[in-house]
């Protein structure tokens, strides 16, 4: 059977695209996990959109550029912010409920925004509510086949175009294949992402020959709830937007030297907290000014109870890996450099985020690009794919290889591609990955066991990110180099 569209991933990018494809398309959704498991469902932040008379898309546009250090693709940013209100209104007309205040949709404030324009659902469960909304539109559809717990290990590229995917035991043909596999937070020990998000899509795209871009840009969320070296979920930027204040163990404000104080851009806040922690200080988020905290932020409140048995007024926080800004280079229709291969969501690099993502633009990016991709695919012809005969891909014998543990890969990656990078550490960590990659044949992944394939993907993606970080010698946005005085002047342009 030839599918019209194959979607690889379990998150909101997959759901939005699948939901907006026409009913006459034969669609395969395939994921290594379950369709409900993703970073999207954990997103506490909201959706940024111009919804009030005193706001304008040009303000949102400028805020996005400024936060991104003017490294953004300006045409992509313009498309994103100008389409935002339309996408929100479509959701509302479909029955999506956003939090309200005095009968109107409530608009919150988050870091680096100049206006209140953040919509939330379920308090701090916007991602979960969006996933729930789109899952209803996907599950049970007769034209959509869902395959779970079956990781894709290779993209099938023939005569220069993508015609399907290989898994451990199956081969699926598709006229159009969409990577929606999420980010790479699982390469770090301390992350806001599900541990399974380990950058598989980057490794898949690399082996297929797709163009990758800006892999060095990994955004760290400034405030993950932290106790004894363990993360208990992130503390949304909206908490600071509602009056939360970052302080050290002496009660001294951490961000008062910045003009925007606690609502400074994420890269600056994360780097500031990181420096404080490395000097031996502790950092807390003081929430005493938020009287209705359990009602306004139920997810964070529950995480506090899980971590401490109660909700403290001073939340211990530390930065953690949060969002992959770079990825598979795509155009406005999510097309990669390989015909019939697309990428959407965190695995894609659309150019809208630049060198630092503006808060609450990630869910918006998925809505806008998911709609555009679905429209593009709905208008595409069937194309000509000839099915070949394939026997079972499961070999009788597998290649045995000794690889490091997942924890060792995470430790190495974190040392090289953490918040602050330097040449010596990067080179050491690159060489560490290379010694293992030299022992494997990535062209014959089907000959390895599933856990080995996962580690090979992790090593490859880590190697690519570390290499990109090594090549960019300037400090720019989330990419901070301690071994150079060169700082990009892009943020002062325009």
Catalytic residue positions, numbered: 266
Q: Strands, E, within 12-147: which ranges?
A: 27-30, 47-48, 100-101, 104-105, 118-119, 144-147
How many Cα atoms occupy the beta-carbon half-sphere of 165 within 13 Å? 27
Characterize 129-160 residue by residue with b for buried, 16 or more Cβ atoms within 10 angstroms of its Cβ, and e for exposed.
bbbbbbbeebeeeeebebeeebbbbbbbbeee
**Is there a contact between 127 and 193 (Cβ–Cβ < 8 Å)?**
no
For residue 119 the two structure tokens come to 């919509």
Q: Strands, E, within 299-418: which ranges?
A: 314-324, 327-329, 341-343, 348-349
Residue 110 to residue 133: CA distance in whole angstroms: 24
Residue 77 to residue 391: CA distance in whole angstroms: 46
Q: What is the DSSP string of 124-179?
A: T-HHHHHHHHHHHHHTT-TTEEEE-S--EEEEEEETTEEEEEEESS-EEEEEEEEE
For residue 324 the two structure tokens come to 């992959």
Phi/psi at 81 (5° precision): -75, -30
H or E element in which residue 3 lies: strand 2-8
What is the torsional sign of CA 36, 151, 12, 347?
Answer: positive
Residue 163 to residue 478: CA distance in whole angstroms: 36
Which DSSP letter does residue 395 get?
Answer: -
**Is there a contact between 461 and 198 (Cβ–Cβ < 8 Å)?**
yes
Residue 139 to residue 120: CA distance in whole angstroms: 24
For residue 158 the two structure tokens come to 């023939």
At 293, is the secondary structure helix, strand, or coil? helix
Phi/psi at 274 (5° precision): -60, -45
SS (HEC) of 21-36 = CCCCCCEEEECCCCCC
For residue 175 the two structure tokens come to 């006229």
Which DSSP letter does residue 60 get?
Answer: H
**Is there a contact between 316 and 230 (Cβ–Cβ < 8 Å)?**
no
β-bridge pairing 245-248 and 212-213? unpaired
Please report where in the chains the tokens 């220069």 appear, as a residue.
160
């Amino acid at each position: 059977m030839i599918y019209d569209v194959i979607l690889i991933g379990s998150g909101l990018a997959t759901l939005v695209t699948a939901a907006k494809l026409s009913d006459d398309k034969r669609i395969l959704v395939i994921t290594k996990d379950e369709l409900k498991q993703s970073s999207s469902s954990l997103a506490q932040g909201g959706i940024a959109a111009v919804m009030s008379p005193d706001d304008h898309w040009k303000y949102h546009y400028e805020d996005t550029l400024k936060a991104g250090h003017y490294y953004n693709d300006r045409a992509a940013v313009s498309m994103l912010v100008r389409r935002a209100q339309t996408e929100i209104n479509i959701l509302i007309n479909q029955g999506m409920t956003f939090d309200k205040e005095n009968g109107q949709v409530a608009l919150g404030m988050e870091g680096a925004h100049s206006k209140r324009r953040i919509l939330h659902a379920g308090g701090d469960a916007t991602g979960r509510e969006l996933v729930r909304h789109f899952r209803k539109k996907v599950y049970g559809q007769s034209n959509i086949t869902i395959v779970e717990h079956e990781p894709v290990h290779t993209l099938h590229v023939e005569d220069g175009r993508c015609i399907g995917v290989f898994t451990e035991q199956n081969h699926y043909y598709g006229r159009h294949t969409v990577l929606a596999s999420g980010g790479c937070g699982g390469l770090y020990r301390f992350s806001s992402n599900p541990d399974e998000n380990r950058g598989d899509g980057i490794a898949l795209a690399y082996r297929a020959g797709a163009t990758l871009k800006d892999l060095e840009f990994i955004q760290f969320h400034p405030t993950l709830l932290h106790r004894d070296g363990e993360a208990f979920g992130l503390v949304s930027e909206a908490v600071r937007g509602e009056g939360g204040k970052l302080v050290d163990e002496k009660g001294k404000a951490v961000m008062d030297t910045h003009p925007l104080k606690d609502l400074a851009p994420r890269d600056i806040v994360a780097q500031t907290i990181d420096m404080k922690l490395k000097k031996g200080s502790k950092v807390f988020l003081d929430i005493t000014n938020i009287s209705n905290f359990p009602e306004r932020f139920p997810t964070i409140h529950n995480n506090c109870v899980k971590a401490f048995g109660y909700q403290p007024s001073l939340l211990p926080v530390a930065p953690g890996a949060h969002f992959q800004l770079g990825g598979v280079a795509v155009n406005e229709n999510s097309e990669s450099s390989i015909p019939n291969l697309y990428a959407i969501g965190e695995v894609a690099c659309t150019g809208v985020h630049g060198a630092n993502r503006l808060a609450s633009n990630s869910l918006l990016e998925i809505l806008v690009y998911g709609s555009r991709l679905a429209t593009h695919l709905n208008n595409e012809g069937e194309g000509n794919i000839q099915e070949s005969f394939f026997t079972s891909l499961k070999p009788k014998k597998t290649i045995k290889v000794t690889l490091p543990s997942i924890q060792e890969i995470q430790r190495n990656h974190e040392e090289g591609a953490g918040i602050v990078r330097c040449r010596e550490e990067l080179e050491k960590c690159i060489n560490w990955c290379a010694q293992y990659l030299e022992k494997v044949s990535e062209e014959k992944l089907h000959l390895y066991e599933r856990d080995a394939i996962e580690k090979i993907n992790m090593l490859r993606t880590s190697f690519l990110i570390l290499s990109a970080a090594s090549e960019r010698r300037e400090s720019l946005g989330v990419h901070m180099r301690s071994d150079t005085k060169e700082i990009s002047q892009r943020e002062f342009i325009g």
